[in-house]
A and B are shown apart, each in its own frame.
Chain A
Amino acid sequence: QQKVQQSPESLTVSEGAMASLNCTFSDGTSNNFRWYRQHSAKGLEVLVSIFSDGEKEEGRFTAHLNRANLHVSLHIREPQPSDSAVYLCAVSMDSNYQLIWGSGTKLIIKP
């Protein structure tokens, strides 16, 4: 069964410095990967989806996927305090109907 783990559990970064978050998964046949973020007690906002090995950029958010290493990362360029949130990695297998979620990384951006 697919397992998704995120690291670190919590990350504090200064405003303007690059923030990097990690997600590992157990089943390399997964076919798509997404990053979401959740501000406190609110709904989720999709940031970037990636399906192929390599890099996918959406504004200040860049995802890197390496299936061989069972790893997908998220890099946030020039983060602002408003980017402080919980960042969630989600992986789906053979359909778009079921997502397996990581437990999240709490990101704090210091002014």
Chain B
Amino acid sequence: AQTIHQWPVAEIKAVGSPLSLGCTIKGKSSPNLYWYWQATGGTLQQLFYSITVGQVESVVQLNLSASRPKDDQFILSTEKLLLSHSGFYLCAWSRLGVYEQYFGPGTRLTVL
């Protein structure tokens, strides 16, 4: 069975500090991977997707970047956090050519 892990579970960071959020998929090779962001009380917004190692497509950047260093790993990062980066970050995966996306438990980010 496939499992998806996100780390950290929650993070409190200062404005201007760097950030790195991680996502790992186990039990599935060559998944499509996605990053989403959800402001508190807001709509879910897709940020990035990747269909293969080393390739990431941006949907909405929000001064963030994403990388896929390994087949099962997706990283979201920035060098300088903004207050507006606060929210809930979700990673998801799907099979190639299949529409369902399966979500991780999320990371709650608070920027002060």
Query: Of B12-20, B66-74, B92-100, which binds chain A?
Result: B92-100
The B59-112 residues at the A interface (CB cut-off 8 A) are: 59, 88, 90, 92, 94, 97-106, 108
A residues with CB within 8 A of B = 32, 34, 36, 41-46, 49, 51, 88, 90, 92, 96-99, 101-104
Q: Mark B31-49, 1 if CB is under 8 A from A, else 0.
A: 0101000000011111001
Can you list 28 A-B pairs, Cβ within 8 angstroms, ordered by A? A32-B99, A34-B100, A41-B88, A41-B106, A41-B108, A42-B106, A43-B103, A43-B104, A43-B105, A43-B106, A45-B103, A46-B100, A46-B101, A46-B103, A51-B99, A88-B44, A96-B32, A96-B97, A96-B99, A97-B32, A97-B34, A97-B49, A97-B57, A101-B43, A102-B43, A103-B42, A103-B43, A104-B43
- Name A92's contact: one of B45, B99, B104, B108 (CB within 8 Å): B99
Question: What CA separation (Å) do A34 and B46 show in the bound complex?
Answer: 15
Apart from A46-B101, A46-B102: 11 A-B pairs, beta carbons within 8 A: A32-B99, A34-B100, A36-B103, A41-B88, A43-B103, A44-B92, A46-B100, A49-B99, A96-B98, A101-B46, A102-B43
Question: What CA separation (Å) do A90 and B43 show in the bound complex?
Answer: 11
* B53 / chain A contacts, CB cutoff of 8 Å: none
Closest to A36 in B: B103
Question: What CA separation (Å) do A88 and B43 show in the bound complex?
Answer: 9
